[in-house]
Structure 1
Amino acid sequence: MPRYRWETEEHELFRESLRKFLQKEAEPRYDQWEKDRLIPKSFWKQLGELGFLCPQVDEKYGGLGLDFSFGVIIGEEMERIGAGLTGVGLHNDIVVPYIEAYGTDAQKKKYLPGCVTGDRITAIAMTEPGTGSDLAGIRTTAIRDGDHYVVNGQKTFITNGINGNLALVAVKTDPDAEPRHRGVSLLLIEEGTPGFTKGRKLDKVGMHSQDTAELYFEDCRVPADNLLGEEGKGFHYMMEKLQQERLVVALAAQTAMEDMLRLTVDYVKSRDAFGRPVAAFQNTQFKLAEIATETELGKAFLESLIADHLDGKDIVTKVSMAKSWITDTAKRAAADCMQLHGGYGYMEEYKIARRYRDIPVMSIYAGTNEIMKTIIAKNMGLSGAGAR
């Protein structure tokens, strides 16, 4: 049965093929990847060989010329294995679309084929120590010097920071611009560029297999040809692309919630307490009934948003609602599902423990949920609400 109303037979076959691949190549190895704190680059290459990297890229650059609906399927199936695979979605649906939308023909020819094969693994470097969600307040500078930009600054919490070899970096090309956002530009910076170094792999509470790092730029000379789009338009570009990024995060939280519900229903049916199944207790039934209801509400909301997004509609307000509500709901569900697992829920060999520590960050990245509520309030016309 199709998962969404817009799914075709082609979508179903694509999902089935990806699921079989992940069950064979990722699921048995995922626990080891979590211990290693890294997903091997060879896995990325396998994804590329099978067409699961950037399927939306135009065929002339090696892609399949598909739309975001196939990215939805990839995101869901990756999340079912574990949140540590989120870097694939970031590469497919967040970073590469910047190059597709704003890149020159030369940039597309240079970078997109490698993004499709897995030879290029991308990262997006926005966040800095002390700035968080305040993208207009970034301090990394890129000062023009002839046919190069000289970049100085630091980025942190960068997904794919270790494996990545192509970073899309938000910089200030005009540090004195007023308003501040008009000084922001985007540069493509390759691994190996002199002055570009990677810091430590950050030791996170969850998402252990997802490599996250600090990036440093010290008198890093980047060719001016690596400017993405127009100088001073970087903030505008990021605002345009954040709609899809936040939709991707909401989708991951939704998928995680569905997975936790399935795991917990199976567990309480098989586990006895005081001479009867845990599922027979009214508290268990009420808790799971609530989670099941919230899961269905989230799914219906997301389905409508995905359809609108595919139609090119502006869903900024609604996607902010989805990102905020679904990630917060998933956090509550994780706590309730762990409680219903009892002591076993706190053991690493039970997947619910991993879900419990992986989910909280979803309400933080891609704009905190507090920022989401500010966007909603602003678009409701409420006085004094902040900017998106």
Structure 2
Amino acid sequence: MSSPDPQTHHPIEAELRPPERLEETLARVERLYRDVVVPREQALSHRLSNERAFLDDAGKLHPEIIEARREIMRAAGEQGIYSLHLPERLGGGGLDREDMIYVEEKVYGYGVKLNPAMLSWSEGATPRLLYCHDHQQEQFVAPLVRGEKTSLHGVTEDGAGSNLFDMKTRATRRGKDWVLSGAKAYITNAFDADIAQVLAITDPGQGRRSFTYFMFDTREYLNKGYRIGRVFQTMFGDGYTGEIFFDDMVLPESAVIGEPGQGFDIAVMSFNYTRMRRAGMCSGWSRYLIERALDRVKHRQVGNRPLGANQGIQWMIADMYVDWLQARSLSLEVARSIDTPGPWYRLPRPKDEVRRICALKVSNDESFYRVADRALQVFGGAGVMRDTDINKLFQIARNLRIPGGTDEVQRTTIAETLGLRFDPSKSAPADDRLKGS
């Protein structure tokens, strides 16, 4: 299935209404897609539309696709698009969350082939760079912001997911150095990352102050205490997820991001960013699916009339639109409320903002999943074929309800910040715990 023609206008496109201040930025995004992304998608169509050719013999993302993604990242960096979300002092574009929603939904609205590489995501210039020191700028920060290098985020472990306090990876001091020991699982970009950003426990039993982030060059430390393990094949077969190990790996003090004991707060800020990023991502992909579904039901003939003439199909399309509109409207409102005091990356965040960010993630994750489910239903047999964008987006939609904190964790946080946080030994809400968390 081909990516949508950027010149094709669908009914809901008129509802996007990005502000005039973004006109030039969005025009640059469109040129980048047309001039850089589309030619590479066309050249690699035999791999992008065939999941067997999408991976190499070891089940990892094929090197040709990796290189195409890197070319797009570098081009996006050169054109000032890749890191629009970061402040200008780091070389970013300085856009706030509301403006980034408009940019993200345009990028993701092109589909699910190579276009996501136009914007930094978990393997690129993440907000953790805000806490890097001056000596880390040239080697790590600048290349990530420019899209010249990629990174991995080592937090999740086989026995530690949403609850960071279950983490087993430790870093202990040895003179002026740190010795890192443990393993991380389900890590995106595990095999190709140039840079690793890893969270470890450095001072057990100290609550939020127990954690520290470390950053290092993966090529420099490969087989010198740092090992890459097996492929973890996800439900959509990305060949991009794996495990990494730290075998008494010795790191200098200069590898610390921020300060020792600051890791928990940096992680929370990172997770908040991941959740806020759902807004433009899910809006763009939902719109893509609605547009594909509209094209399908207008042109697919069943019993000598368009499939879309059936009321049951019309209702499914209408429900897809309602889900998209509700989630997008909530996202823009939450973004504006966060941008008003600004900036979106400040810490600590008021509990009412945390609650709204959690609501944004739940709303987008579940609305996008319903849109993808109905799109697949509309496409029928063609929708369940594994090598189609419809099928892949359905699988991605299901996956998104887990990373960044499961939707159930988001609901728990929402309830707790509304006063429903209980001490197990009591029957009343633990107000003191709520205030101090």
TM value normalised by structure 2: 0.79
Matching residue of 1:131: 160
Matching residue of 1:4: 18
**For 1:91 and 1:329, how far apart are their aligned partners in 2?**
22
Residues 36-185 of structure 1 aligned to structure 2 (within 5 Å): 36=55, 37-38=61-62, 39-41=65-67, 42-43=70-71, 44-56=73-85, 63-68=91-96, 71-72=100-101, 75-80=104-109, 81-82=111-112, 88-91=119-122, 96-100=126-130, 102-174=131-203, 176-179=204-207, 181-185=208-212
Structure 2: state its 5+ residue gaps: 1-13, 56-60, 423-428
Residue 343 (str. 1) matches residue 386 (str. 2): no
Q: Displacement, 1:15?
A: 2.7
Answer yes or no: is the 8 Å Cα contact 1:195–1:220 preserved in 2.
Answer: yes
Residues 1-388 of structure 1 aligned to structure 2 (within 5 Å): 3-5=17-19, 7-21=21-35, 23-28=37-42, 29=44, 32-33=47-48, 35-36=54-55, 37-38=61-62, 39-41=65-67, 42-43=70-71, 44-56=73-85, 63-68=91-96, 71-72=100-101, 75-80=104-109, 81-82=111-112, 88-91=119-122, 96-100=126-130, 102-174=131-203, 176-179=204-207, 181-191=208-218, 192-193=220-221, 194-206=224-236, 208-209=237-238, 211-311=240-340, 312=342, 314=349, 315-384=353-422
Q: Displacement, 1:297?
A: 1.3
Residue range with higher mean Cα deviation, 344-353 or 260-269: 344-353
Answer yes or no: is the 8 Å Cα contact 2:278–2:364 preserved in 1.
Answer: no
**For 1:172 and 1:382, how far apart are their aligned partners in 2?**
29
Q: Displacement, 1:332?
A: 1.9
Residue range with higher mean Cα deviation, 42-51 or 221-230: 42-51
Answer yes or no: is the 8 Å Cα contact 1:15–1:73 preserved in 2.
Answer: no
Q: Displacement, 1:379?
A: 1.1
**For 2:116 and 2:163, how far apart are their aligned partners in 1?**
23
SS in 2 for 1:359: helix
Task: Indicate how the Cα distance of structure 1 residues 172 and 51 shifts in structure 2: closer, same or farther if over 3 A, else same.
Answer: same
Amino acid at match of 2:66: P
**For 2:78 and 2:26, how far apart are their aligned partners in 1?**
20
SS in 2 for 1:365: coil
**For 2:283 and 2:200, how far apart are their aligned partners in 1?**
33
Q: Displacement, 1:186?
A: 0.6
Task: Indicate how the Cα distance of structure 1 residues 73 and 22 shifts in structure 2: closer, same or farther if over 3 A, else same.
Answer: farther
Answer yes or no: is the 8 Å Cα contact 2:123–2:188 preserved in 1.
Answer: no
Q: Displacement, 1:190?
A: 1.7
Task: Indicate how the Cα distance of structure 1 residues 198 and 6 shifts in structure 2: closer, same or farther if over 3 A, else same.
Answer: farther
Answer yes or no: is the 8 Å Cα contact 1:51–1:116 preserved in 2.
Answer: no
Answer yes or no: is the 8 Å Cα contact 2:183–2:244 preserved in 1.
Answer: yes
Q: Displacement, 1:114?
A: 1.2
TM value normalised by structure 1: 0.89
Structure 1: state its 5+ residue gaps: none
Answer yes or no: is the 8 Å Cα contact 1:186–1:234 preserved in 2.
Answer: yes
SS in 2 for 1:99: helix
Q: Deviations over 1:39-89 (max 9, x none)?
A: 42342333333333324556676x354324565455434433317766753
Q: CA RMSD in A?
A: 2.7
Amino acid at match of 1:350: T
**For 1:348 and 1:188, how far apart are their aligned partners in 2?**
37
Amino acid at match of 2:41: E
Answer yes or no: is the 8 Å Cα contact 1:75–1:251 preserved in 2.
Answer: yes
Amino acid at match of 2:29: R
**For 2:405 and 2:77, how far apart are their aligned partners in 1?**
29
Q: Deviations over 1:68-123 (max 9, x none)?
A: 45654554344333177667532487x532122x1111112331221133332112
Q: Displacement, 1:333?
A: 2.0
Answer yes or no: is the 8 Å Cα contact 2:29–2:81 preserved in 1.
Answer: no
**For 1:85 and 1:127, how far apart are their aligned partners in 2?**
27
**For 1:339 and 1:46, how far apart are their aligned partners in 2?**
37
Answer yes or no: is the 8 Å Cα contact 1:56–1:67 preserved in 2.
Answer: yes
**For 1:151 and 1:30, how far apart are their aligned partners in 2?**
42
**For 2:267 and 2:177, how far apart are their aligned partners in 1?**
23
**For 2:78 and 2:46, how far apart are their aligned partners in 1?**
24
**For 2:399 and 2:260, how far apart are their aligned partners in 1?**
32
Question: Number of matched residues?
Answer: 382
**For 2:37 and 2:137, how far apart are their aligned partners in 1?**
33
